[in-house]
């Protein structure tokens, strides 16, 4: 990913997405917003924060990446594998009015003037772009979503609903908790073993802490994408751990509930 600094504002973009010239997108950091206290400063979710500040934060980051903040659409994320098809009628849902998209962790569209947004504080953001048929999608893949292979499901939906060819689809795996910090106990490991046959390659027993394991979520997501036909060269992995960089990112594992939220945002350009 490429790190952009614009005054106090810092955000990241995927080079492979930027190179197409057909989308505006970013993964936010906690820098460059107006929120205060534990939400300092670029908090992009309402939970607990002053709503005026959250909307101002959207105005700041959307303007920096060339998106109209009124086009933002977000859902309530529940760690499931549902992917909701967004249209222009959904604009403003979540941000400027109540969202009735209450069970989706993934968003997809081929419409312009619509900006998909999903939230993070360690979970893995996965972005998709079919530059040929101009389709975008984005999924929130925490460990539960990764077990349910929501990223692979986004690829299948792009193919089924829009006719995207898998070899054309670009994917981006954003900043999130990496195996250095994603410590779990056996019940989580068991879910992976039960549902993903190659997962053992990405699960590591902690030799210093009894009963603890480390999981490489990004590695599992990348393998599931390759298994459904995404080309390795079309996957860009940020390779940045949110918990290792608390000055730059909100991290649930580092901060607990007293924190703001990061966002992934993507929109097809009007051209
Ligand atoms: Zn880490």
Distance CA 235, CA 152 (A): 13
| Per-residue model confidence as pLDDT tens for the chain (271 residues) | 999 999 999 999 999 999 999 999 999 999 999 999 999 999 999 999 999 999 999 999 999 999 999 999 999 999 999 999 999 999 999 999 999 999 999 999 999 999 999 999 999 999 999 999 999 999 999 999 999 999 999 999 999 999 999 999 999 999 999 999 999 999 999 999 999 999 999 999 998 999 999 999 999 999 999 999 999 999 999 999 999 999 999 999 999 999 999 999 999 998 7
Three-state SS for the chain is: CEEEEECCEEEEECHHHHCCCCEEEEEECCCCCCCCHHHCCCCCCCCCCCHHHHHHHHHHHHHHHCCCHHHEECCCCCCCCCEEECCHHHCCECCCECCCCCCCCEEEECCCCCEEEEEECCCEEEEEEECCCCEEEEEEECHHHHHCCHHHHHHHHHHHHHCCCHHHCEEEECCECCCCCCEEEHHHHHHHHHHCCCHHHHEEECCCCCCEEEECHHHHHHHHHHHCCCCHHHEEECCCECCCCCCCCCCHHHHCCCCCCEEEEEEECCC
User: Residue 197 C-alpha to ligand 1 middle, in angstroms?
Assistant: 25
Angle formed by the axes of helices 150-162 and 217-227, nearest 10°: 30
- State in Å: Cα 183 to ligand 1 middle: 10
**How many angstroms is it from 269 CA to the middle of ligand 1?**
34
pLDDT at 271: 74
The owner of tokens 């419409």 is 111
Query: How close is the Cα of 147 to the center of ligand 1, in Å?
Result: 20
Cα of 56 from ligand 1 centre, angstroms: 30
Output the CA 209–ligand 1 centroid distance in Å.
Answer: 17
Residue 125 Cα to ligand 1 midpoint, Å, equals: 16
**Residues 49-81: tens digit of each pLDDT:** 999 999 999 999 999 999 999 999 999 999 999
Q: Is 2-265 assigned to CATH 3.30.540.10? A: no
Q: How far is the CA of 71 from the centre of ligand 1 (A)?
A: 33
CA 87 – ligand 1 centroid, Å: 37
* pLDDT for the residue 188: 98
CA 244 – ligand 1 centroid, Å: 4
Q: How many CB atoms lie within 10 A of CB 56?
A: 15
89: which residues sit within 8 A by CB, 6+ positions away? none
pLDDT one-digit tens code per residue, 106-149: 999 999 999 999 999 999 999 999 999 999 999 999 999 999 99
Q: How far is the CA of 260 from the centre of ligand 1 (A)?
A: 19
What protein residues have CB closer than 5 angstroms to ion ligand 1? Answer: 178, 180-181, 241, 243-244
């Amino acid at each position: 990913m490429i790190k952009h600094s614009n005054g106090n504002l810092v955000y990241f973009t995927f080079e492979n997405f930027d190179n197409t010239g057909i989308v505006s997108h970013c993964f936010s950091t906690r820098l460059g917003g107006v929120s205060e206290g534990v939400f300092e400063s670029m908090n992009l979710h309402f939970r607990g924060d002053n709503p005026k500040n959250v909307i101002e934060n959207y105005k700041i980051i959307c303007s920096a990446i060339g998106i109209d903040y009124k086009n933002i659409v977000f859902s309530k994320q529940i760690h499931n594998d549902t992917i909701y098809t967004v249209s222009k009628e959904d604009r403003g849902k979540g941000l400027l009015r109540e969202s009735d998209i209450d069970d989706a962790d993934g968003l997809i569209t081929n419409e312009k003037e619509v900006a998909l947004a999903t939230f993070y504080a360690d979970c893995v953001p996965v972005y998709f772009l079919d530059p040929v048929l101009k389709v975008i999608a984005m999924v929130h893949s925490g460990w539960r979503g990764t077990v349910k292979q929501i990223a692979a499901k986004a690829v299948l939906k792009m193919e089924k609903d829009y006719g995207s060819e898998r070899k054309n689809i670009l994917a981006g795996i954003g900043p999130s908790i990496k195996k250095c910090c994603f410590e779990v106990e056996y019940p989580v490991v068991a879910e992976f073993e039960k549902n993903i046959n190659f997962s053992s390659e990405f699960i590591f027993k902690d030799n210093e802490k009894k009963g603890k394991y480390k999981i490489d979520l990004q590695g599992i997501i990348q393998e599931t994408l390759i298994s459904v036909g995404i080309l390795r060269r079309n996957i860009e992995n940020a390779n940045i751990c949110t918990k290792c960089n608390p000055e730059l990112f909100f991290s649930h594992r580092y901060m607990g509930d007293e924190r703001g939220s990061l966002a992934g945002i993507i929109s097809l350009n009007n051209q």
